[in-house]
Amino acid sequence: MATPKRKTDHAFNIQRLNVVFLFSALALIASVIWMVIDDYDREWKHFQRDFFARDRERARLQIEELDEQNQAALEQAQESKTQTLTRIESDIEAKRDQLDKLQREQIYRADQLVKFARAKLDVLRYEYESELTHFRVEHGEGRIDPAEFPEGLRDRYDLVVKNEQDIAKLSNDLNELKKQEKSISDELGELEKQVTVYDDEIRSLTEKRDILARKIERTESGFRNTVLDRTPMMDFIDPVTKVEWVKPPNLRDDLNFTQAERIDMCKTCHMAIDGIGYTGDNWEHPFRSHPRLDLFVSPSSPHSYLDFGCTVCHQGRGQDLTFKGSAHVPRDDAQREQWEEKYGWTPKAFMHWEFPMVPTQYIYSSCLKCHGDSWTIPEAGPTTVELAASSPAWNTVDEGATLAGHNSVNAGRMIFYEYGCHGCHAMKDFESPRKVGPDLRQVGAKLEPDWVYAWLLDPKAFRPTTKMPKFFGLSNSGGELDTRAHREQMQKFNQVEADSITAFLFQQSVPMDLPLPDGLEADTESGKTLFENRGCLGCHAVDSLPFAPGNNFGPNLSRVGEKLNLAWLYHWVKDPKQYHPDGRMPSLRLEDQEALDIASYLLEAFQTESPFRGSPDRSDADYLSFLDARIIENYLDDLPIADAQAKADAMSLDQKRTFVGQKLVERYGCTGCHWVNGYEDAKGIGAELSEHGTKDLHTVDFGLELHEVDGVDRVTGEEKTYHIDHTLHSWLGMKIRYPRIFDRGRYKAYKDASRMPNFEFKDDQIEALVTYLFGNRKELIPEIMKANLQGDAQVIAGGERIIHDSNCYGCHQFEMHEISYLDDDALRRHAIGQVTEVSVEDEVSFFRAWTDQIALTQKGQTDFAAAQTIYGADSVPIAYEMFSNPEKIRMLAGEKITDLESVSVLDPVGTTLELGVEADIQADVSLFTAIRFIGEDGQIHLAYGKITSADLEEGSLTFGLMKPIEELGLDAFAELELTRDKIVQLIDPSLALGGRLGRSLELAYAQNEDLDPFDTDEYFNDIQPTIDPYKPPVLFREGQKIQTPWAFEFLMNPYPLRPWFEVRMPTFGFTQEEATTLANYFGAKDRRQYPYNYYDESAASYLAARSDDQPEQYLENAWALMQDPQVNCFNCHMQGEKTPEGDPSSWAPDLSMAHERLRPEWIRSWIFDPQGFQPGTKMPQLFLSDEERYQEAFAAPSGHQVEAIKDLLMNWTASPAAASNPR
């Protein structure tokens, strides 16, 4: 039976419901309050309030400072204003009255009269014209002569005329009055100006202050801010604290299946990021200015805030407003601890995000996103870690502070490329990589098995600088970090592997016919001279020249005699491409005898007493069982164990070895770096790294919760504990440092064990490499945002790559040093040139300016701008760049320059500047030699200065410091004594600029002549002047000098330009395309027309115009001038086959080639001032702008004389020169 329903009016209990409502209302109110409080209490609002308070304080201080500064001037201005006012107030009043009166009474009246008269005239004219119409209707159209009018009409006509005259008179009166008005008002203006002048002055004095005051007012707690910004619930109306965001127009967030506009709110907390001067100790993050406002954030920088935002470089979550939520990643443990304490940061804050923030030391990795097509990314760091270590200049920030520890992405990329990482790991930057190791297809002709065996086991034991990594004795194969029990067994196992690989390599090797030339006797003395002077040292280092600038482009040859045989080396030196067709070693076009001498010398001179050899005991039971085990294991996938065993038993020992060796070559991916027969098309065995920077952390193998590894610092040799964080960069660093460490403690089958070799990189190399790898990210960057090099920039990037691959820097200097300094007027200026002397004793250094300053000062900028206005932005001629003497400019530029004052600020080219080390120079300290050494505290330190003495045998030295080292308590100019084992790196300033060979030539000469290259007298008086003529030419601004087609031909087929040279431009075997790029590179770099350029010097009309239609006589005269005993170009210059008298070291290049080789504008400028182009050149200055010389030979001002010589050189083949010098 159903329960009877209770009779109620409602389906619910109102009483109870009221209670529910009450509580839910209370809960709602509470949650609203909570919401409001929580909103008011948001992290970023605290940051903003804090920042505003501090910024107000800063503004107040600035105001105080300004007030103090301007107080006097302001008072003065106000005082003067008051005085002036009192003085002329009555005058002004009087004038105003006068003006007012004039306007009110006279002008008004006159104006009215004119207006009335005009109105009246209109009436009269109407009446006249209407009567005239009647008259003409009655008497015919043609009758218009007033003389024939009847009387009435005539009166009306006269009235019109009279009225017109009246109006003219009245207008005239009015104009007179207006003139009067103008003159009074001008006078009044003049008077008032006396006062407004002070108003302007006051305004300019208070302008900055007012802005600051407004800034304070904007955020200060006043009524408005208290109500609209600081009152919960009200603060939405018009808050001062508000989210600052930017929406870069071309950037999108990739949300897998769709894209969203990218919005960065970072500035909400980083409020001063675009402000200037929020630096130093008072401003910690997040309230600091961006350290490179010249490059980023500021509107005038190439990467402005509005166009780029923040996260495109820094990554992280731009739309999150909390510290943790925006995925900050600490740079190191210290920062991590700081954050944990300050912000409650935990690793979870970033672990799960796809793009956590880039730790600051890797920030330059982001450049790769858009600038991947540059060979070296401008401003993103030097190309070698050595330079990065020595030169703080590249990451110098405001106020001379530096961002310590930033890694160069350029250096990382270069390491990746040079060490052939692309051999195993595909990478989008290097699509068709060359194999970086030597060709092994004919290895039997080159090496002996015992050497190869020993080499494979430990390449660095033979050659510490080799790029060949170590495959055996690593942390999972019996190395020092292998913690397993069977280390010794593993070592035996490694021997089996190395021996097998050796066996296979020799088995696959194809024989090579290497006949030695008949009837030639090797002369090792001559071999030594050739080796030292031909240019070998441009790419190769030898330990016997301990202070030669480190050149690790080719292998260090110090033990080459233990490795190679004469027949092979002879052929290699003579024609490297025969053995290794795509190798980088160029041909020096050596004679048979020369090649034989060099090869014999190398083999004889470069070996140690204990030759590098090794072989295993092949009868050892372990050896044999390991070998069998490898074979059996290999067959086990397909065969039962008994059959596999039978297969092994059927093989001879050599068969076993080659069989296993072949499998190992495949396993270790040897073919990634070496050519091996049968593996020409082998693919890299490693993972592609093109998008490794965004690899999902969950797919990264961190091994068994490995947190730290006790390793060894490869520079200092000290034991060091390396931490492993759960971050990609930490993992990458450890993977490169100890590639197989993540196998530790795990059971892994042989075939699954890690097999990446160890390159034994040093910590800074690893950091650079990680930076590079970290920058290769999978991310959507619209094409429009990428640098996409075009035109000259593309040509330059292409050229730089070829220059790198051919190691042009090894021999040629491409750039000069740059310094900025204060001149006598305390203006900051800029000069390009070279250091001529560093004197630790006299505590001073000297710098010679090679070119004019492109001054950084206002004054200087105007000058350059003036030249640009005259010539056009891109074609400021050499004359401007090279000459500073206004008279010279007048001469060279002819009528073009009129404003001579505009260039007079420049100092003469070739000036030597005296530089006090600390006082006035703010140069890149890498001008000086840098040394990295292990100090008494066991740490690596960096010092700048100069080697003051050295023991060439021992490699020890004393080093004079140009800057103090505070950590070690060493003052500037202190001398540091260092033994070889304490020297980590000696960094010659020329490394940055190229031309290392020149230094090696000097050192070799010093060693042979028993001179001290570090003694100032001996160096500057003997070594340098002797060797300078034999150094490969400096290619600084070469594009201004050479014609592109000539450069192309020369690069394709070099020939001796300077016959006295012992050093030789090699034949690189460039493709036509490469030679074109390189030839164009020079033109592009120095902004000259390329590839083709029309020179009208050879046009008949040109010569006719120069010479009053007597071109032949003109050239005759020029020829006479060149041969004049007082000029006599051919005293030094060759002309075709004809050589000058005397010793070849005093000769100069062949002038019969000038017309094909040189640009005429360069010839002209060069003759005028050789020292301005190349201070120290042997070419004397013969023509002076202010002196007329050689008038008997060629009567003309010197400008014309030089012009004529240039014209003759450009017309050589049609000139008397060619007639006397058949080529």
Contacting residue, 417, 821, 1166, 1190, with another protein by CB under 8 A:
1190
- Give CA 95 to chain center in angstroms: 66
908 binds another protein (CB under 8 A): yes
1173 binds another protein (CB under 8 A): no
975 binds another protein (CB under 8 A): no
Q: Minimum distance between the CB of residue 1007 and another protein, rounded to whole angstroms?
A: 14
1191 binds another protein (CB under 8 A): no
Under 8 Å between Cβ of 428 and 772? no
Under 8 Å between Cβ of 375 and 797? yes
Task: Name, in order, each residue with C-beta under 8 angstroms of 1093's C-beta and a sequence gap of 6 or more.
Answer: 1043, 1044, 1159
Chain positions 414 to 433 lying near another protein, rule: CB under 8 A, are none
Tell me the window of 336-344, 608-616, 732-740, 1168-1176 that interacts with another protein (CB under 8 A).
1168-1176
Chain positions 377 to 416 lying near another protein, rule: CB under 8 A, are none
| CA 154 vs CA 117, 118, 144: distances in Å | 20, 21, 11
Under 8 Å between Cβ of 1086 and 1037? yes
Place of tokens 């505003």: 52
Tell me the window of 124-132, 387-395, 733-741, 1011-1019 that interacts with another protein (CB under 8 A).
1011-1019
The CA R_g of the chain, rounded to the nearest whole Å, is: 42
Contacting residue, 1171, 1197, 1200, 1214, with another protein by CB under 8 A:
1171
Nearest to 440 by CA among 500, 506, 499: 506
1181 binds another protein (CB under 8 A): yes
- How many Cβ atoms sit within 10 Å of the Cβ of residue 680? 9
Nearest to 447 by CA among 593, 353, 579, 322: 579
Q: Minimum distance between the CB of residue 1128 and another protein, rounded to whole angstroms?
A: 6
Dihedral sign from CA coordinates of 122, 124, 125, 131: positive
Contacting residue, 187, 1177, 1214, 1218, with another protein by CB under 8 A:
1177
Structure tokens at 684: 């890299």
| CA 38 vs CA 33, 45, 993: distances in Å | 8, 11, 59
3-state secondary structure of 136: helix
846 binds another protein (CB under 8 A): yes
951 binds another protein (CB under 8 A): no
Contacting residue, 1025, 1053, 1104, 1112, with another protein by CB under 8 A:
1025
**Cβ contacts of 1209-1212, under 8 Å, gap ≥ 24:** 1209/1151, 1209/1154, 1209/1155, 1209/1158, 1209/1160, 1209/1163, 1210/1095, 1210/1097, 1210/1098, 1210/1154, 1210/1155, 1210/1160, 1210/1163, 1211/1097, 1211/1098, 1211/1103, 1211/1115, 1211/1155, 1212/1151, 1212/1152, 1212/1154, 1212/1155
Q: Which is nearer to another protein, 449 or 908 (CB)?
A: 908
887 binds another protein (CB under 8 A): no
How many whole angstroms separate alpha carbon 344 and alpha carbon 339? 7
Contacting residue, 398, 1018, 1116, 1161, with another protein by CB under 8 A:
1018
Q: Which is nearer to another protein, 491 or 1177 (CB)?
A: 1177
Parallel, antiparallel, or unpaired: how do β-strands 303-304 and 296-297 relate?
A: parallel
Q: Which is nearer to another protein, 61 or 1195 (CB)?
A: 1195
Q: Minimum distance between the CB of residue 694 and another protein, rounded to whole angstroms?
A: 54
Tell me the window of 186-194, 917-925, 979-987, 1182-1190 that interacts with another protein (CB under 8 A).
1182-1190
Q: Which is nearer to another protein, 1136 or 1140 (CB)?
A: 1140
1139 binds another protein (CB under 8 A): no
1179 binds another protein (CB under 8 A): yes
DSSP 8-state symbol, 1148: B
Amino acid, single-letter form, for residue 253: D
Tell me the window of 164-172, 254-262, 343-351, 1184-1192 that interacts with another protein (CB under 8 A).
1184-1192
Q: Minimum distance between the CB of residue 1036 and another protein, rounded to whole angstroms?
A: 18
1026 binds another protein (CB under 8 A): no
Tell me the window of 240-248, 253-261, 995-1003, 1017-1025 that interacts with another protein (CB under 8 A).
1017-1025
Contacting residue, 1020, 1093, 1104, 1219, with another protein by CB under 8 A:
1020
1120 binds another protein (CB under 8 A): no
How many whole angstroms separate alpha carbon 332 and alpha carbon 360? 10
How many whole angstroms separate alpha carbon 862 and alpha carbon 902? 8
1123 binds another protein (CB under 8 A): no
Contacting residue, 705, 719, 825, 1010, with another protein by CB under 8 A:
1010
- Alpha helix (H) residue ranges in 447-547: 449-457, 459-462, 487-508, 524-533
Q: Minimum distance between the CB of residue 1132 and another protein, rounded to whole angstroms?
A: 7
824 binds another protein (CB under 8 A): no
Contacting residue, 42, 467, 667, 1178, with another protein by CB under 8 A:
1178
Q: Minimum distance between the CB of residue 1025 and another protein, rounded to whole angstroms?
A: 6
337 binds another protein (CB under 8 A): no
Structure tokens at 1219: 């007639």
Q: Which is nearer to another protein, 102 or 1120 (CB)?
A: 1120
1015 binds another protein (CB under 8 A): yes
1126 binds another protein (CB under 8 A): yes
Tell me the window of 160-168, 369-377, 874-882, 1179-1187 that interacts with another protein (CB under 8 A).
1179-1187
**Cβ contacts of 150-155, under 8 Å, gap ≥ 24:** 153/128
Nearest to 171 by CA among 113, 103, 105, 122: 113
Q: Minimum distance between the CB of residue 1159 and another protein, rounded to whole angstroms?
A: 23
836 binds another protein (CB under 8 A): yes
Chain positions 485 to 544 lying near another protein, rule: CB under 8 A, are none
1021 binds another protein (CB under 8 A): yes
How many whole angstroms separate alpha carbon 1031 and alpha carbon 999? 9
Contacting residue, 914, 1096, 1112, 1188, with another protein by CB under 8 A:
914
Contacting residue, 50, 448, 837, 1086, with another protein by CB under 8 A:
837
1060 binds another protein (CB under 8 A): no
In DSSP terms, 942 is beta-bridged to 932
How many whole angstroms separate alpha carbon 455 and alpha carbon 463? 9
DSSP 8-state symbol, 812: -
Q: Minimum distance between the CB of residue 1143 and another protein, rounded to whole angstroms?
A: 6
Tell me the window of 139-147, 275-283, 908-916, 996-1004 that interacts with another protein (CB under 8 A).
908-916
Q: Which is nearer to another protein, 981 or 1188 (CB)?
A: 1188
Interior/surface letters 859-879, b for 16+ CB within 10 angstroms, e for the rest = ebeebbebbeebbeeeebbbb
How many whole angstroms separate alpha carbon 973 and alpha carbon 943? 11
1118 binds another protein (CB under 8 A): no
Contacting residue, 347, 550, 1136, 1176, with another protein by CB under 8 A:
1176
Contacting residue, 112, 912, 1008, 1072, with another protein by CB under 8 A:
912
Amino acid, single-letter form, for residue 959: F
Q: Which is nearer to another protein, 513 or 1010 (CB)?
A: 1010
Q: Residue numbers of the site for another protein (CB under 8 A)?
A: 836-837, 846, 848, 908, 910-912, 914, 1010, 1015, 1017-1018, 1020-1021, 1024-1025, 1125-1128, 1131-1132, 1140-1143, 1145-1146, 1170-1171, 1175-1182, 1184, 1189-1190
